[in-house]
Amino acid sequence: MSEQETWTTEEFGPSHTGSVGVLLADGTVPPPVHIPTNSGSGGQSVTEWSVYDGGDWGHGPRAAVLRAVCSCGWNGAEHPLDWAEIGDQPLFEAGTRTADLCMRDWDSHAVDVERSATPLPDSVTDLLAQLHAEIEKLSKTSPLAALRAARQLEVTAEDIGYWAAHDARQDATLAQAAAALGLSESETRKLLARFGRWSLYY
């Protein structure tokens, strides 16, 4: 696995994992950069945008564009790097503002994903927010009571989720369920199997 900084949300997790992507001057995506260890054996593969500075040892080809990318296949707007302005500055410093633009682009994408998912009634959203606040408050005075409350929520979720998963399996295709939940089909299959208590491979 290549190392790089990524962004996720609690709800959508690996279905929408964002990062700063790199394009070269010819429009291609560069391969990971292999950085060897001091001993010369082994090493690691890195795709962090800042290593693509066209330098010598341990660096990748020179990046021409930074853009937000997401594990769902979405790509953000292209933000060119001005190497005449960057000059001899380290890319991880000179390109920070451009990388921040990419993160904002992905944040907007995450908001769009949330909006496209099946909406919850305000009454449910308000109750969930109230429960979160009350249990958080309880944890400051009685951590064990808060833990018990969290466990009861877990039991309730498993109980409600069981029938919801079985009904959803009958009413929607995997693709339809994934779109409604804002998840990938793989993560949707795992979620349905977990709540429905059936084998992932069934």
Q: What is the DSSP string of 20-86?
A: EEEE-TTSPPPPPEEE--TTSS--EEE--GGG-S--STT--PPP-EEEEEETTS-B---EE--HHHH
Tokens read off for 75: 């790509």
Residues 174-192: b if buried by 16+ CB within 10 A, e if exposed? eeebbbebbbbeebbbebb
Residue pLDDT, tens place only, 34-75: 887 765 556 788 999 999 999 866 689 999 999 999 999 999
Torsion of CA 130, 132, 134, 135, to 10 degrees: 160
Contact yes or no for 12/71 (Cβ under 8 A): no
Residue percentage of the chain with pLDDT more than 90: 88
pLDDT of residue 58: 61
Q: How confident is the model at residue 1 (pLDDT cuts 50, 70, 90)?
A: very low
In whole angstroms, what is the distance from residue 80 CA to residue 95 CA?
Answer: 10
In whole angstroms, what is the distance from residue 50 CA to residue 73 CA?
Answer: 22
In whole angstroms, what is the distance from residue 33 CA to residue 47 CA?
Answer: 6
The secondary structure of 40-54, three-state, reads CCCCEEECCHHHCCC
Residue pLDDT, tens place only, 102-123: 999 999 999 999 999 999 999 9
* 3 backbone φψ class: left, alpha, beta (φ>0; ψ -120 to 50): beta
pLDDT of residue 40: 56
CA angle 181, 187, 188 (to 5 degrees): 45
